[in-house]
Structure 1
Amino acid sequence: MSNLFEFDLVFALGEGEHDVFELADAVYALGFDDAVVGTGQAGLLAVALEVEGEQPDQVILEAARTILPHLPKGSTLREVRPDLVSLADVAKKLSVQRQALQKRKVPQPAVQGLYRVTELAKSLEQQVEQPTAGARRPRFSMDAAKPWLAAGAGAQTVNARMALGELDPQSLQPRKRST
């Protein structure tokens, strides 16, 4: 059974000037017709995707491996999102105000007000499925955010493998372990 995953790939572009329209066209030409491509920060390219597949980390890596060779020489995968998220990020996906989440029991932030998306997803799903006796039932639906939340574990896995040096961010191939 195939699942839908919603995630962002953030690439650090190789040296030089880059035409954002050419970069976007390259992504679309690869079959990612619904991608949202942006260059909000100099030297970075973000590609927001919705892709079907079985395992989130494999879906993410396959998409990144498809796109990366078509980017300027020297480009690397810098980050996959969602990984660490704010309550505002999650609230937006749930179509509620951030304050609605602040009133809920949520896990502790991992770092500077950012939460691990997998921990938040688990907590929120549990609150929807098993509301606390006497507490107000959550007024948000997890359905709209499900593809984004489902991609979180894959994003964390890919980011961790790159951070630990197990995955080369330029080729996206496993690095050989030295003995």
Structure 2
Amino acid sequence: MTDDTVFEFDLVFSLPADAAPEADILDAVFEAGCDDAVAGLGAPGMIGFAFRRRGRDGEAVIAATVAQILPALPTGSRLREVKPDLVSLAEVAARLAISRQALQKRPMPAPSQAGLYRAAEIAGHLRASPGRIAQALAGSEAWFAAAPAAQRLNARLSLGTFPERPDQI
């Protein structure tokens, strides 16, 4: 990877029950310098942010983003997931702007869990695909570039070895 590698990833946080109103949280995130974040507020008690950031190492870029955004979130907020890691073929197809059936016709790695695949593993299989899928992949390289780092960070979250405080990241 180079300093110019773009990583596209999502950070999903759980919020404490007594969290500030969503508008206040979004203002604080913006004031923390995360004005490039796209926020998702779908599930109660959860908030997600999508980023496209540059750097040399995906894990370092994502960890730095967590350290930047976490102080802006209400006390007690916790990073729950980094995406893309486990993905469905429908998610990959949507990213590539192709049909899920087109993916199903290609050799794929074995699913990791309940029909979900590791994005990092799918990327290699798609790069070997001729024609339209390989061309579509070029527009999603930033998403796939973040996948190995997301997988490693999610493992650290599961094992409890990813720091919960920004000053430890």
3-state SS of paired residue (1:28) = helix
Q: Work out whether residues 13 and 47 of structure 2, in 8 Å CA contact, stay in contact via their aligned partners in 1.
A: yes
Show the 5 A alignment for 1:105-144.
Answer: 105-127=107-129, 131=130, 137-139=131-133, 140-144=135-139
Q: Work out whether residues 56 and 150 of structure 1, in 8 Å CA contact, stay in contact via their aligned partners in 2.
A: yes
Q: Work out whether residues 94 and 142 of structure 1, in 8 Å CA contact, stay in contact via their aligned partners in 2.
A: yes
Q: Could you tell me the percent identity over the aligned residues?
A: 44
Q: Which has the larger radius of gyration?
A: 1
Aligned counterpart in structure 1 of residue 69 of structure 2, from 67, 70, 76: 67
Q: Which residue of 2 aligns with 1:2?
A: 4
Q: Work out whether residues 15 and 74 of structure 1, in 8 Å CA contact, stay in contact via their aligned partners in 2.
A: no
Answer 1 or 2: which has greater helix percent.
2
Q: Work out whether residues 11 and 79 of structure 2, in 8 Å CA contact, stay in contact via their aligned partners in 1.
A: yes
Q: Which residue of 1 aligns with 2:89?
A: 87
User: Could you list the runs of 5+ residues in structure 2 that have no partner in the other structure?
Assistant: none
Q: Work out whether residues 34 and 69 of structure 2, in 8 Å CA contact, stay in contact via their aligned partners in 1.
A: no
Amino acid corresponding to residue 48 of structure 1 in structure 2: A
* 1:147 paired to 2:142: yes
* 1:165 paired to 2:166: no
Show the 5 A alignment for 1:41-80.
Answer: 41-80=43-82
Taking the aligned partners of 1:10 and 1:27, their CA distance within structure 2 comes to: 14
TM-score (norm. length: structure 1): 0.86
TM-score (norm. length: structure 2): 0.91
Q: Work out whether residues 20 and 38 of structure 1, in 8 Å CA contact, stay in contact via their aligned partners in 2.
A: no
Q: Which residue of 2 aligns with 1:19?
A: 21
Taking the aligned partners of 1:74 and 1:34, their CA distance within structure 2 comes to: 23
Taking the aligned partners of 1:99 and 1:22, their CA distance within structure 2 comes to: 42
Taking the aligned partners of 2:105 and 2:126, their CA distance within structure 1 comes to: 12
Displacement after TM superposition at 1:2 (Å): 1.9
Taking the aligned partners of 2:20 and 2:124, their CA distance within structure 1 comes to: 40
Q: Which residue of 2 aligns with 1:177?
A: none
Aligned CA-pair RMSD:
1.5
- Deviations, residues 92-111 of structure 1 (Å, cap 9, x unaligned): 11111111101111111100
Taking the aligned partners of 1:17 and 1:28, their CA distance within structure 2 comes to: 17
User: Could you list the runs of 5+ residues in structure 1 that have no partner in the other structure?
Assistant: 132-136, 175-179
